């Protein structure tokens, strides 16, 4: 059946209603493209928060868009996730809109990266679209108001499962990096459903060096201890987020370390500093400059890293897979390769507000089909 005669169409992104497809792709996205990428982000995020704050609208959106059924739910990290599709860190850096984002149907939202001290990040422009690759390049540099500010919102009761991603303040010398993570962990720990130590952003000089085991070891030990101290009655799940650019042996080493420290899991992966295999022309890519590349170009490596982690740790670690996921088939492939949960960021920017529901519905269908076959 043709698109025009059908109320819904089946695309590589899964099934979507004609209204969703037409309104977002033909109307809203082209208008947003008139704005610089970061301004478009602020505009859409502000609109969403405003819209969801209208009395009755947030719960209505949640009823319409959140897939939360027996077959969609996932038990992990001592929590029950309504579905396995999460929003990756970096979209809601300051924990200002996680309830509104949850009402769009995300099974969980990871806020941050939050740093020990507030910082403005890198000079603008620092976020770029590569539409031909459906990719983004960013060098935001952890712009955020700091973990102390975010806690004022995180301490409120919330319906959405919220992970809190913490990183290092740029101005802090390397010798105080651990203390900086610990200060954030102590603040956010009591209110986070899980905490992520981010050592994988390419935009804070020296940050990714913390992935080397000799540096990661004392960092993880200190954050682990800090969380036990501030939350003696509830164990706060602790995960580490890694880069796709790690060598295979280093991926293994992180898995070993995570097991050694009794960490709950690993999030793989962050953005890549590589630029190979892009469809966009070289000058367009060069104009963006330095930064982390996300979206489909990182898909292959994100899956490889996931498989490597799963081979090494089996089911002893909760693996959250992120990087280039756009379709329910891809999300399901990650789950089959060992992920318990998945996250998206770039596809949400390109595909719009109905993506979480589409992915969660598709994955639940694929899971039940696999169950019937098995
Ligand atoms: C604009 C932007 C900002 C990001 N900021 C963060 C961040 O603050 N902390 C973090 O751990 N990851 C950050 N990320 C990485 C994403 O969480 C994710 O790991 C990565 O984009 C790969 O997923 P995707 O291909 O679905 O976008 C950011 C990504 C983008 C595009």
- How many angstroms is it from 8 CA to the middle of ligand 1? 31
Q: Is the CB of 135 under 6 A from ligand 1?
A: no
Q: Is the CB of 136 under 6 A from ligand 1?
A: yes
Return d(Cα 151, Cα 114) in angstroms, integer.
10
Return d(Cα 196, Cα 239) in angstroms, integer.
5
Name the 3-class secondary structure at 90: coil
Q: Is the CB of 144 under 6 A from ligand 1?
A: no
Q: Is the CB of 298 under 6 A from ligand 1?
A: yes
The answer to whether 29 and 36 have CB atoms below 8 angstroms apart is no
Residue 268 corresponds to which tokens in the numbers above? Answer: 């793989």
pTM: 0.94
pLDDT value for 13: 47
Whole-angstrom CA distances from 50 to 57, 97, 100, 355 are 10, 10, 9, 20
The answer to whether 347 and 29 have CB atoms below 8 angstroms apart is no
Q: Is the CB of 198 under 6 A from ligand 1?
A: yes
pLDDT value for 9: 47
Q: Is the CB of 267 under 6 A from ligand 1?
A: no
Residue nearest to atom 29 of ligand 1 (CA): 90
Q: Is pLDDT at 98 greater than 90 in this prediction? A: yes
Provide mean pLDDT across the span 193-205. Answer: 89
- How many angstroms is it from 1 CA to the middle of ligand 1? 37
Closest CA to 318 of 103, 134, 130, 79: 79
Q: Is pLDDT at 239 greater than 50 in this prediction? A: yes
Strands 341-344 and 318-322, sheet pairing = parallel
Tell me which of 345, 348, 350 to substitute to probe ligand 1's pocket, judged by most ligand atoms within 8 Å of the beta carbon: 345
Provide mean pLDDT across the span 331-347. Answer: 98
Rg (CA), the chain: 20
Q: Is pLDDT at 56 greater than 90 in this prediction? A: yes
Residues 6+ away with beta carbon under 8 Å from 101 = 48, 87, 91, 92, 109, 160
pLDDT value for 368: 92
Q: Is the CB of 294 under 6 A from ligand 1?
A: yes
pLDDT value for 29: 87
Report pLDDT digits (tens) over 283-298: 999 999 999 999 999 9
- Cis before 193 (ω within 30): no
Q: What is the mean pLDDT of the chain?
A: 92
pLDDT value for 182: 98
Closest CA to 241 of 162, 310, 174, 322: 322
Residue nearest to atom 4 of ligand 1 (CA): 90
Q: Is pLDDT at 6 greater than 70 in this prediction? A: no
- Of the two residues 123 and 372, the one the predictor is more confident about is 123
Whether 201 is catalytic is: yes
Q: Is pLDDT at 257 greater than 50 in this prediction? A: yes
Residue nearest to atom 5 of ligand 1 (CA): 90
- How many angstroms is it from 129 CA to the middle of ligand 1? 14
Report pLDDT digits (tens) over 120-166: 999 999 999 999 999 999 999 999 999 999 999 999 999 999 999 99
Q: Is the CB of 355 under 6 A from ligand 1?
A: no
Stated as kind and residue range, the H or E segment containing 165 is strand 162-166
Catalytic residue, from 183, 184, 201, 321: name it: 201
Q: Is pLDDT at 223 greater than 60 in this prediction? A: yes
- Of the two residues 12 and 265, the one the predictor is more confident about is 265
Return d(Cα 370, Cα 56) in angstroms, integer.
37
Residue 343 corresponds to which tokens in the numbers above? Answer: 């996250």
Confidence band for 23, pLDDT divided at 50, 70 and 90: confident
How many CB atoms are closer than 10 A to CB 63? Answer: 10
Closest CA to 163 of 357, 360, 341: 341
- How many angstroms is it from 137 CA to the middle of ligand 1? 10
Closest CA to 80 of 109, 110, 119, 108: 108
pLDDT value for 188: 98
The answer to whether 239 and 266 have CB atoms below 8 angstroms apart is yes
pLDDT value for 20: 67
């Amino acid at each position: 059946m043709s698109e025009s005669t059908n109320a819904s169409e089946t695309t590589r992104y899964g099934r979507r209603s004609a209204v969703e497809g037409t309104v977002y792709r033909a109307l809203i996205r082209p208008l947003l493209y008139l704005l610089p990428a970061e301004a478009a982000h602020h505009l859409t995020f502000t609109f969403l928060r405003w819209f969801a704050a209208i009395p009755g609208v947030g719960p209505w959106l949640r009823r319409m868009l959140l897939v939360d059924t027996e077959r969609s739910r996932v038990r992990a990290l001592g929590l029950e996730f309504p579905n396995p599709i999460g929003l990756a860190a970096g979209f809601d850096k300051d924990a200002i809109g996680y309830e509104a984002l949850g009402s769009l149907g995300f099974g969980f939202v990871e806020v941050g990266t939050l740093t020990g001290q507030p910082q403005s990040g890198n000079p603008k422009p620092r976020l770029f679209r590569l539409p031909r690759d459906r990719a983004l390049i960013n060098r935001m540099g952890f712009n955020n108001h700091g973990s102390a500010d975010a806690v004022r919102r995180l301490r409120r009761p919330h319906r959405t499962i919220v992970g809190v991603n913490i990183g290092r303040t740029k101005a802090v010398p390397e010798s105080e990096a651990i203390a900086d993570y610990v200060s954030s962990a102590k603040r956010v720990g009591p209110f986070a459903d899980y905490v992520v130590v981010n050592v994988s952003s390419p935009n804070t000089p020296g940050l990714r060096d913390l992935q080397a085991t000799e540096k990661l070891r004392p960092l993880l030990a200190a954050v682990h201890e800090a969380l036990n101290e501030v939350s003696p009655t509830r164990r706060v799940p602790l995960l580490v987020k890694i880069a796709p650019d790690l060598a295979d042996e280093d991926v293994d080493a992180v898995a070993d370390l995570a097991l050694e420290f009794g960490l709950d899991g690993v999030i793989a992966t962050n953005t890549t500093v590589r630029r190979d295999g892009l469809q966009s022309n070289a000058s367009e890519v060069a104009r963006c400059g330095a930064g982390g590349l996300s979206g489909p170009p990182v898909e292959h490596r994100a899956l490889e890293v996931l498989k490597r982690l799963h081979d090494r740790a089996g089911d002893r670690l909760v693996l959250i897979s992120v990087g280039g996921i756009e379709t329910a088939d891809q999300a399901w492939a990650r789950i089959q390769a060992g992920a318990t949960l998945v996250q998206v960021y770039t596809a949400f920017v390109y595909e719009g507000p109905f993506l979480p529901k589409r992915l969660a519905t598709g994955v639940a269908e694929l899971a039940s089909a696999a169950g019937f076959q098995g």
